[in-house]
């Protein structure tokens, strides 16, 4: 087991220096001091080692021992991850609470995955099968409906010499024996993987299926593809967390990994208390049954915050390898970057921009590059999509974390303080945001929804940017100076903003919008525009159109028409026809 | 102060280097990181410090009272063997302490054998209860559109010279357990109040003391005072001492505790000072890179836990240097706290009290504490509608300043009227006025009724039927 590899010589916050063995490995997991706090070797120089400690170091003294483990910082992977809530280094928070009470004390050590719990297991491979890394040996039912595919460890390959019968097993029980060369290995449902190393796959595929989130401004206007990466930067109070929660609730991924990285404790509690009661619209099961939570709140040790991102992404990759679509939310990557900065500062490294270490961009790239839609080792396809929140100081997008993030994502959802102040939610600014996946996913819309999504989206974006241009003029001379045709653009743009872009996350009907409803709403608004434009061009005053009762009906349709009864939107189209028809007749 | 004082500890005579409030002590063995030290100067006076960094044979010590008068050879440093602990007791309510938690009201040391680490420990997120019970403050801009819940941290962002102290005093005086609109006003459960002053002027502390006395609250207030002329380094400990007591009152004794911290900007400056002296790599405006984590270690000591009836609600006050909300202190605070109440100079000059600038203000938890079964069914949409209408008013004002009010459309002119009335009747209220939640809702609907009903797209048609009293009301 762990043997003594050094003696502490210096302590400052989460950073400890020690003198000792030259055989300690870089990034090796070590245990620090008599309390055996978890730490990781982050620097070696001769017989000096620098260790970042994932727990509070108060009370520790120079002269205390450091124990080596010979292993890098790793996570445990196996059935039982889903519905768990872990801290940044995968310690199960509910067990810590049971053991030491409401406050997290140091040195609490628990298995990340329960060794006692039995899983209903069915073998899928048989004796004599040649298997390699990633191949599925059998399935364990992780929830009533979720199949956990037990795979061969990516580094292993060989011939199966024994296979367990169907039955109930713990993660410690042998479920197969694998002959690799001369040795025979007992395979269990549990495997370990170093968090800083991406899990292998065969090859990346193009990302051209949208991750449907039920959020109109995302799906219709700025879609992210499955296997893609998106960033949500925004000043405080602009709704980063609400947007992340909405995606975690409604995204059509099979597994959600939610990382609360240096954020509020109450927010994690909200997820914990809300998700078990919310129902996944696709599976009909509680949302918690597809969710893994990593909670390293702002007041928990800062080094563990740095690790939490890697813990989360490794778990996400593990489910991807089974052939699932996984969506990972990281709230907030800025707090993670600050953890890097804090540790870097204590190491007295030369700072680059705003005190951040020079390797910030590299670390961000490593993280976002672990997203992808891939061919797995076992022949299945799976994806990890990443949605990273960014918290720029003072809402200034020119700061290093936002700027470097922009280099590695292809979808940028810019939150806007002034929209949030006007309670326009989600406060995603449609002029500052972009998605590079639009062309890629257009085909999906054509095939699955059967409408010209790309054309309608382009038209709507044109109207919105036209509105922005006209608003500049309105600010100077007032709306009355504009010709009716241009005021018609303003009317329609308002309908797009209030009837489509605005979405109430707390309204039962409006919280999730099916793609069919989204596209039909957009179609209605554009139809209204077309009819109205024809009429005003013949000289009808704009206020007649503005005052049509159907305007209000269209704006309210998002919350009055449910996803199941979108044919009611046809009635609204009839209303448009009737009311516009009257005007049409008058001004013919 | 701590048990360790009695036990003694290792003593070192003479220090290696003194720089600002930091000194390097050499020749000490078995020193722990974050340990408390007792420092005796050449005249026999004692002061306290804390270990910031420790290596083989040396320790870097932060001296709370500052290093004035300490000499290289004449200073004796005693390492007390433990982190900073303080005594906590219910009897501390009604008492006044210095910034380190020592009584300064002439009374005795609190009699107790419960000592707690001032740094506290992080609350396990699984042990928390999500806040859902609202606090009625009697102030429309808070109860109506930025509702405060028990277990929430909601700072006041203000500027020098604005009446944030009055507003905080009014909240403390009027805060009661929220109830359904229309339910009879019962005697609200009273909050225990923990008040921490960091670097504030003597008259500010006096103002609060007087205000607590007048409202009869003094017996349930514990005051921790580090005034402007007290050593800045002590300020690092003051909020921690206050929160340590608050945690004991809330989680051990089951009380509802309201914590007022003022002024967080001074706290941040003390932190910056220490960081600079230590030669740490600064991030923005010279503040240390760990400012966010450090502030979080204070603000996150708020909330409710499952094993206790009690709660801690925090109202930190901070004056924004140059009224700049992007300054690191308000900025990082806003990222940690659950919203903010922003005071604005424009309203203040217009004679509006409290000058709460509604648009940038926010209560993140509001959605979970209002509405059906909590305040009134229409409350959430009513609030969103007021916000949207007032935001639109701002755009129209900008337009009016260019083209003149007369040129505005009829509807836009109604918005201007609405905006003025909103500030005069909804935002503005007397220092002594304690509005019920139904009164606040009523004023809001009266103002919304100044607009055509077609403009009100955030509320439902049924709500318009029930509450809207404007010209084009259907009934």
Task: Report whether pLDDT(B9) > 80.
Answer: no
Return the residue of B nearest to A506 by Cα.
B367
Q: What is the pLDDT of residue A109?
A: 82
Q: CB-based contact (8 Å) between B131 and chain A?
A: yes
Residue B6: the pLDDT is 39
B430 touches chain A (CB under 8 A): no
Nearest to B55 among A62, A295, A417 (CB): A62
Query: Would the pLDDT of B333 be above 60?
Result: yes
Q: How far is CA A480 from CA A132, A538, A541, B300, in A?
A: 72, 18, 11, 52
Report in angstroms the alpha-carbon separations of A24 from A42, A49, B117, B330: 11, 8, 35, 44
CA distance B213 to chain A (A): 34
Q: Where are the beta strands (DSSP E) in B166-277?
A: 176-177, 192-200, 221-227, 256-262
Angle at B119 between CA A312 and CA B340, to 5 degrees: 70
Per-residue pLDDT of chain A (588 residues; tens, 9 = 90+): 568 899 999 998 889 999 988 888 888 999 999 888 989 999 899 999 999 998 888 889 999 999 998 889 999 999 999 999 999 999 999 999 999 999 988 877 889 999 999 999 999 999 999 999 999 999 999 999 999 999 999 999 999 999 999 999 999 999 999 999 899 999 999 999 999 999 999 999 989 999 999 999 999 999 999 999 999 999 988 989 899 999 999 999 999 999 999 989 999 999 888 888 888 878 889 999 999 999 999 999 888 999 999 999 999 999 999 999 999 999 989 999 999 988 888 888 888 888 899 999 999 999 999 999 999 999 999 999 999 999 998 889 999 999 999 999 999 999 999 899 888 999 999 999 999 999 999 999 999 999 999 999 999 999 999 999 999 998 888 888 899 999 999 999 999 999 999 999 988 899 999 999 999 999 999 999 999 999 999 989 999 999 999 999 999 999 999 999 999 999 999 999 999 999 989 887
Mutate to test the interface with A, among B335, B363, B368 (most CBs of A within 10 A): B335
Sign of CA dihedral B184, B186, B192, B193: positive
The answer on pLDDT for B182 being more than 80 is no
pLDDT at B474 over 70: no
Share of chain B above pLDDT 90, in %: 73
Question: Is the pLDDT reported for residue B29 higher than 90?
Answer: no
Identify the residue whose tokens are 């049971």.
A98
Based on the number of CB atoms within 10 Å of its own CB, is B323 exposed (0-12), middle (13-18) or buried (19 or more)? middle
pLDDT for A423: 84
Distances from the Cα of B467 to the Cα of A427, B182, B202, B464, angstroms: 29, 15, 48, 6
- Looking at residue B185, what is its pLDDT? 60
Helix axes A438-448, A453-477, angle to 10 degrees: 120
A43 φ, ψ (degrees, to nearest 5): -160, 145
Bond preceding residue B354 cis, omega within 30 of 0: yes
A372 phi/psi in degrees, rounded to 5: 160, 155
DSSP alpha helices (H): ranges in B74-163? 140-143
Q: Does B154 touch chain A (CB under 8 A)?
A: no
Decide if pLDDT at B3 tops 60.
no
Chain B residues with CB under 8 Å of A104 CB are: 121-124
pLDDT at B186: 60
Mean pLDDT of chain B: 91
Give the residue from chain A lying closest to B340, CA to CA.
A237
**Under the phi-then-psi rule, with left for phi > 0, alpha for psi from -120 to 50, and beta for the rest, what region is B25?**
beta
pLDDT reported for residue A443: 94
pLDDT of residue B178 exceeding 90, the answer is: no
Residue A464 and residue A490 in contact, taking contact as beta carbons nearer than 8 Å: no
Find the residue in B nearest to A338 (Cα): B289
Q: Quick one: CA dihedral B148, B151, B157, B162, positive or negative?
A: positive
Burial A256-277 (b: 16+ CB within 10 A, else e): bbbbbbbbbbbbbbbbbeebee
Q: What is the pLDDT of residue B2?
A: 40
Whether residue B115 contacts residue B252, with contact meaning beta carbons closer than 8 Å, is answered with no
Query: Do residues A380 and A254 make contact, with C-beta atoms less than 8 angstroms apart?
Result: no
Q: Pick from B152, B289, B408: which is nearest to A338 by CB?
A: B289
Facing residue for B402 by CB, picked from A62, A237, A475 = A475
Edge-to-edge strands, sheet with A130-132: A130-132, A157-163, A176-180, A183-187
d(CA A557, CA A205): 38
Q: How far is CA A35 from the centre of its chain?
A: 35
Report CB contact under 8 Å: B128, A394.
no
State residue A478's pLDDT score.
81
The whole-number average pLDDT for the span B218-231 is 92
| Single pTM value for the model | 0.93
How would residue B188 be classed by pLDDT, with cut points 50, 70 and 90? low
Pick the residue of B145, B254, B293, B400 with the most A CBs within 10 A to test the interface with A by mutation.
B293
Q: A476: distance to nearest CA of chain B, Å?
A: 6
Are B125 and A295 in contact (CB < 8 Å)? Answer: yes
Phi then psi dihedrals of residue B197, to 5 deg: -105, 130
Q: Which of A91, A299, A477, A557 is the best residue to mutate to test the B interface, defined by the most B CB atoms within 10 Å of its own CB?
A: A299
Residues A192/A74, Cβ–Cβ less than 8 Å: yes
Of all residues in chain A, the one with the smallest CA distance to B383 is A423
Q: Are A475 and B398 inside 8 Å of each other by CB?
A: yes
pLDDT at A587: 85
pLDDT value at position A282? 81
Contact A298 B82 (CB under 8 A): no
Per-residue pLDDT band for B4 (boundaries 50, 70, 90) equals very low
Adjacent-strand bridge partners of A257: A292, A328
Min Cα separation A143/chain B (Å): 21
Beta bridge partners of A32: A37, A66
Task: Give me the phi and psi of A427, to 5 degrees please.
Answer: -80, 45
CA distance B408 to chain A (A): 7
Residue with tokens 């009273």: B190
Q: Which of B53, B289, B339 sits opposite A237 (nearest CB)?
A: B339
CB contact under 8 A, B289 and A355: yes
- Chain B: residue whose CA lies nearest to A335: B292
Nearest to B53 among A12, A59, A236 (CB): A12
pLDDT on residue B240: 96
Q: B391 vs A269: CB contact, 8 Å cut-off?
A: no
B403 touches chain A (CB under 8 A): yes
Query: Which residues make beta-bridge pairs with B134?
Result: B149
Of B31, B307, B334, Cβ closest to residue A102:
B307
Closest Cβ opposite residue B335 in set A57, A236, A555: A236
Task: Number of A to B CB contacts under 8 A, please give it.
Answer: 220
Question: How does pLDDT run across B65-110, given as a tens digit for each residue?
Answer: 888 889 998 899 999 888 899 999 999 999 999 999 999 999 999 9
Residue B347 has pLDDT above 70, yes or no: yes
Interchain contact, B128 vs A506, CB within 8 Å? no
- Count how many Cα atoms sit within 13 Å of the Cα of residue A402 in the half-sphere of its side chain: 18
Of the candidates B53, B78, B210, the residue with the CA atom closest to the CA atom of residue A16? B53
Q: Which residue of A has its CA nearest to B325?
A: A394
> What b/e readout covers B9-24, taking b as 16+ CB neighbours within 10 angstroms?
beebeebeebebbbbe
Of A336, A269, A332, A333, the residue nearest A302 (C-alpha): A336
Residues of B in contact with A97 (CB under 8 A): 124, 126-127
Instruction: Provide the CB-side half-sphere exposure for B331 (13 A, CA).
Output: 19
B365 touches chain A (CB under 8 A): yes
Distance of alpha carbon A313 from alpha carbon A294, whole angstroms = 10
């Amino acid at each position: 087991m762990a043997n003594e590899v050094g003696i502490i010589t210096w302590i400052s916050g989460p950073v400890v220096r020690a003198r000792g063995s030259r055989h300690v490995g870089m990034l090796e997991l070590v245990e620090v001091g008599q309390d055996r706090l978890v730490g990781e070797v982050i620097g070696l120089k001769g017989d000096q080692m620098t260790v970042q400690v994932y727990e509070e170091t108060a009370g520790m003294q120079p002269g205390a021992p450091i124990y080596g483990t010979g292993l890098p910082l790793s996570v445990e992977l196996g059935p039982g991850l889903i519905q768990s809530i872990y801290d940044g280094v995968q310690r199960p928070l509910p067990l810590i609470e049971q053991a030491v009470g409401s406050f997290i004390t140091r040195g609490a050590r628990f298995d990340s995955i329960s060794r006692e719990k039995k899983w209903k297991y069915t073998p899928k491979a048989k004796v004599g099968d040649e298997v390699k890394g990633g191949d599925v040996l059998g399935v364990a039912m992780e929830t009533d409906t979720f199949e956990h595919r037990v795979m061969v460890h990516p580094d292993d390959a060989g011939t199966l010499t024994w296979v367990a019968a169907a039955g109930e097993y713990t993660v410690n029980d042998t479920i197969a024996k694998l002959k690799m060369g001369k040795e025979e290995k007992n395979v269990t449902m549990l495997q370990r993987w170093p968090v800083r190393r991406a899990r292998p796959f065969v090859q990346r595929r193009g990302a051209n299926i949208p991750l449907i989130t039920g959020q109109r401004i995302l799906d219709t206007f700025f879609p992210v593809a499955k296997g893609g990466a998106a960033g949500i930067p925004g000043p405080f109070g602009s709704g980063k967390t609400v947007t992340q929660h909405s995606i975690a609730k409604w995204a059509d991924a099979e597994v959600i990994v939610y990382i609360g990285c240096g954020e509020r404790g109450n927010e994690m509690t909200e997820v914990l208390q809300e998700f078990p009661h919310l129902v996944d619209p696709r599976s009909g099961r509680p949302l918690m049954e597809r969710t893994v939570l990593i909670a390293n709140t702002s007041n928990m040790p800062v080094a563990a915050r740095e690790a939490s991102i890697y813990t989360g992404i490794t778990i996400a990759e593990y489910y991807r390898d089974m052939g699932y679509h996984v969506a990972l939310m990281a709230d907030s990557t800025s707090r993670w970057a600050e953890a890097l900065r804090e540790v870097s500062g204590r190491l007295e490294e030369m700072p680059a921009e705003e005190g951040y270490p020079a390797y910030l961009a590299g670390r961000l790239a490593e993280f976002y590059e672990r997203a992808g839609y891939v061919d797995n080792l076992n022949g299945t396809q799976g994806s990890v999509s990443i949605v990273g929140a960014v918290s720029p100081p003072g809402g200034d997008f020119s700061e290093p974390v936002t700027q470097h993030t922009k280099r590695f994502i292809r979808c940028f959802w810019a939150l806007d303080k002034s929209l949030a102040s006007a309670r326009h939610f989600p406060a995603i600014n449609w002029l500052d945001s972009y998605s590079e996946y639009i062309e890629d996913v257009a085909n999906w819309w054509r095939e699955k929804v059967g409408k010209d999504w790309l054309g309608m989206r382009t038209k709507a974006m044109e109207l919105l940017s036209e509105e922005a241009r006209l608003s500049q003029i309105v600010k100077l001379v007032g709306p009355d100076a504009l010709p009716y045709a241009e005021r018609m653009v303003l009317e329609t743009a308002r309908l797009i903003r209030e009837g489509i872009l605005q979405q109430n996350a707390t309204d039962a009907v409006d919280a999730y919008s099916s793609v069919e409803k989204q596209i039909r709403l957009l179609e209605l608004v554009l139809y209204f525009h077309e009819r109205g434009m024809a009429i005003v061009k013949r000289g009808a005053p704009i206020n007649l159109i503005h005052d049509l009762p159907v305007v209000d009906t269209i704006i309210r349709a998002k919350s009055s028409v449910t996803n199941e009864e979108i044919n009611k939107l046809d009635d609204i189209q009839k209303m448009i026809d009737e009311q516009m028809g009257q005007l049409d007749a008058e001004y013919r | 102060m701590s048990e360790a004082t009695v036990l003694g500890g290792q003593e070192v005579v003479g220090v290696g280097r003194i720089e600002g409030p930091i000194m390097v002590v050499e020749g000490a063995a078995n020193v722990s990181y974050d340990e408390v030290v007792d420092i005796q100067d050449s005249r026999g006076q004692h002061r306290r410090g804390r270990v910031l960094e420790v290596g083989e044979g040396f320790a870097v010590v932060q001296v709370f009272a500052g290093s004035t008068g300490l000499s290289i050879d004449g200073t004796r440093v005693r390492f007390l063997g433990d982190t900073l602990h303080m005594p906590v007791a219910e009897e501390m309510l009604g008492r006044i302490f210095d910034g380190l938690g020592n009584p300064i009201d002439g009374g005795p040391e609190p009699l107790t054998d419960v000592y707690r680490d001032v740094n506290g420990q992080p609350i396990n997120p699984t042990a928390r209860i999500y806040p859902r019970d609202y606090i009625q403050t009697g102030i429309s801009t808070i109860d109506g559109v930025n509702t405060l819940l028990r277990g929430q941290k909601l700072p006041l962002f203000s500027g020098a010279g604005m009446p944030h102290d009055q507003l905080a005093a009014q909240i403390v005086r009027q805060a009661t357990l929220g109830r359904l609109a229309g339910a009879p006003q019962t005697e609200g459960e009273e909050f225990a109040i923990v008040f921490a002053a960091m670097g504030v002027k003597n008259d500010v502390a006096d103002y609060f003391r007087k205000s607590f006395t007048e409202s009869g609250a003094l017996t349930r207030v514990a005051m921790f005072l580090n005034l402007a002329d007290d050593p800045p380094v002590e300020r690092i400990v003051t909020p921690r001492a206050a929160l340590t007591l608050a945690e004991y009152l809330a989680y051990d004794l089951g009380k509802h505790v309201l914590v007022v911290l003022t002024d967080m900007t001074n706290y941040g400056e003390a932190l910056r000072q220490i960081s600079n002296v230590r030669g740490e790599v600064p991030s923005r405006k010279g503040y240390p890179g760990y400012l966010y984590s450090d502030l979080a270690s204070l603000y996150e000591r708020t909330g409710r836990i499952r094993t206790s009836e009690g709660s801690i609600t925090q109202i930190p006050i901070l004056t924004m240097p140059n009224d700049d909300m992007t300054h690191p202190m308000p900025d990082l605070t806003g990222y940690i706290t659950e919203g903010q109440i922003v005071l604005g100079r424009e309203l203040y000059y217009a004679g509006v009290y409290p000058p709460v600038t509604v648009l940038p203000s926010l209560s993140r938890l509001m959605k979970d504490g209002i509405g059906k079964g909590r305040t009134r069914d229409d409350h959430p949409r009513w609030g969103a509608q007021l916000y949207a209408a007032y935001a639109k008013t701002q755009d129209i004002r900008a337009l009016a300043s260019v083209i003149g009010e007369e040129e505005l459309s009829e509807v836009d002119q109604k918005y201007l009227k609405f905006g003025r009335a909103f500030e005069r009747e909804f935002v503005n209220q007397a220092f002594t006025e304690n509005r019920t939640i139904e009164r606040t809702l009523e004023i809001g609907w009266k103002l919304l009724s100044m607009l055509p009903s077609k403009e009100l797209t955030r509320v439902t048609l049924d709500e318009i039927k029930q509450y809207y009293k404007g010209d084009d009301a259907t009934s």
